[in-house]
Amino acid sequence: MIHPTPRLRFAPSPTGPLHLGGARTAMYNWAAARALGGTFLLRIEDTDQARSTDASLQIILAGLRWLGIDWDEGPEKGGAYGPYFQMQRLPLYRETADRLLASGHAYLCYCTPEEIEVGRKELEAQKVGFTGYNRRCRTLTDEQRREFVSQGRQPNVRFRMPDARTMQVHDLILGDVEVNTRDFDDWVMLRPDGVPLYNFACVVDDIGMRITHVVRGNEHFQNGIKQRLLFEALGAECPQYAHIPLILNKEGKKLSKRDADTNMLDYRDKGFPAEGIFNYIALLGWSFSGDRDVFSRDEMVAAFRIDGIGKSPSKFDEEKLRWMCGEYVRRWTPRELLQRARPWLEGAVPAAAFASHGSWLQNGVACYQERIAILSELAGKLGWLFAMPPLDEAAQKNLAKEPAGKQWLLAYAEHLAGCNLPPSWPADRQGVDDAVALPTRKDAAEPACAFWTPAAIERDMRAFVERLGIKFGSFVHPLRAALTGTDKGPGLFDVLFLLGKTACVERLQAAAR
């Protein structure tokens, strides 16, 4: 047998955004297609016309693009097996339904919703061995049929499920499973208006689009049974199914809006790195290798196998997601970090800060590189760099704690003012990278700071504090308060380095007043 080229699909309904579960399904199909050297396509299941919107579709596509999940066929791409929107494929469903009616695998059902409901209740009372639709229209006489037609009833097309057939099915994740068709209803395939229902459209399209493997949430396992029978009725080969377990929250309950963002674009807009989210989602049911959690898209593709997906539900853990995102933030160069963070910084920091390749600002954001997971977090942290913020409660306490604290700060301000650096440097906030190695002026009598670098500032500060005869620990708390208005933030020597001599002196004097 010639093995067909692997073809996998993601088949979202554009009735809402791309959420975590959908993103994972898309990713696993994508990774499998890439790993197998096959094709990954997008099919838009837009038959729920009341709830499908173009806005949702755009959000789904943008979410996929943001995660780096690209498709070979589908919206915006086209392809040889389109159209890729189900509402553009209605003639195909009608033709296929006619074939199934002719072969006896399907029948026309004229029952009204009220009759179906009455029948359902009767079935329940009788305990006949199946429930749901009472299958009245399976056995209509020609006369009954004519009567319904003359009443103007519009028929649904129903699939005739085999009576009490035991089926052994193989799922790439769940393994061998036995089911009995008695547990299934004769389900509606096509409505009178020609719009198909999910299971039917899905099979017609999986056949038409030559789908070979289907990875999807295991809420579709039962649908898979109906679909297998439909493939059989149509004489087509069924794709290999892989039903992935649910994603649960930390408490082991079904993931809800309260546990995670339901729209992938919310993660984007908050400044989570796409690579981090991608990497985290990949691990919700699959593992890369025993000792490594951080891997690239390419590494995932190289290692991915559908049957490597786990059988047990995965748990969404916000803390791990943040850790993962932080791992990516730390890998960037400061320049890259600034570039990526720029959309969140614009408006939050003065426009001039981006001048001169933003090198000063670059050093500013780099101070936080070890401390953040989300780029938007930067915006609220950098204010002290541009203007002295009001002292928060902790800073006020730190400033008041040592009775002589203000004297120390004044003395240090004086010391810094005498420090042998151009007094305004780096007032223009430019060229800090070059200025880092700014040497002491040769003619200086007693250089206080040989270099204005964090390390040199520290050495000099320690010597100063020793001369003062106080504890270093007692000195740094009021100092940080006076310079940044808070007790948190990046390393203190980085703070001084970034503020520059003039601003430091000014802030210390102001605090002492």
Q: Which is nearer to ligand GLU, 45 or 186 (CB)?
A: 45
For the chain, the residue count is 513
DSSP letter string, 39-97: EEEE-B----TTT--HHHHHHHHHHHHHHT---SBBTTTB-TT---BGGG-HHHHHHHH
Between residues 14 and 490, which has the closer beta carbon with respect to ligand GLU? Answer: 14
* Minimum distance of ligand GLU from residue 220's CB (angstroms): 5
* Of residues 218-277, those binding ligand GLU (CB under 6 A): 220
397 phi, psi to nearest 5 deg: -65, -45
Residues between 30 and 49 with contacts to ligand GLU, criterion CB under 6 A:
45
Looking at 6-14, 170-178, 325-333, 396-404, which segment touches ligand GLU (CB under 6 A)? 6-14
**Contact between 12 and ligand GLU per CB under 6 A:** yes
Cα 369 from Cα 397, distance rounded (Å):
28
Tokens, residue 198: 């999910």
Name the residue nearer to ligand GLU (CB basis): 11 or 366.
11
- Quote the tokens at residue 67: 């995660």
Minimum CB distance to ligand GLU, residue 368 (Å): 39
Question: Is 216 or 501 the residue whose CB approaches ligand GLU more closely?
Answer: 216
How far is 3 from 144, CA to CA, in rounded Å? 48
- Pattern 167-206, ligand GLU, x by CB under 6 A: -----------------------------------x----
List all residues 6 or more positions away from 261 whose beta carbon is below 8 Å from its beta carbon. Answer: 19, 20, 267, 270
The only residue of 7, 8, 11, 57 in contact with ligand GLU, by rule CB under 6 A: 11
> Least distance (Å) from ligand GLU to the CB of residue 202?
5
Amino acid (1-letter code) at residue 121: K
257 is catalytic: yes
Closest to ligand GLU by CB, 71 or 332: 71
Of 79 and 217, which CB lies nearer to ligand GLU in the complex structure?
217
Binding residue count for ligand GLU, defined by CB under 6 A: 8
Q: How far is the CB of 12 from ligand GLU (least distance, A)?
A: 5
Residue among 242, 299, 291 at smallest CA distance from 275: 299
Answer for the pair 487, 481: CB distance below 8 angstroms, yes or no: yes
d(CA 285, CA 305) in angstroms, rounded, equals: 12
> DSSP string spanning 316-385?
--HHHHHHHHHHHHHHS-HHHHHHHHHHHHBTTB-GGGG-GGGHHHHHHHHTTTTT-SSTHHHHTT-GGG
Report, in Å, the least distance between residue 56 CB and ligand GLU.
Answer: 11
Strands 166-171, 175-180: pairing is: antiparallel
- What dihedral angle (degrees, nearest 10) is formed by the CA atoms of 373, 268, 495, 511? -110
Give residue 295's Cα distance to chain centre. 16
- In the bound state with ligand GLU, the residue whose beta carbon lies nearer, of 221 and 323, is 221
Positions 204 through 223 that interact with ligand GLU (CB under 6 A): 214, 216, 220
Let me know: does 166 contact 172? Beta carbons within 8 Å: no
Residue (236 or 448) nearer to ligand GLU, CB: 236
Q: Which of 127, 253, 257, 406 is catalytic?
A: 257
Annotated catalytic residues are 257
Q: Which residues bind ligand GLU (CB under 6 A)?
A: 11-13, 45, 202, 214, 216, 220
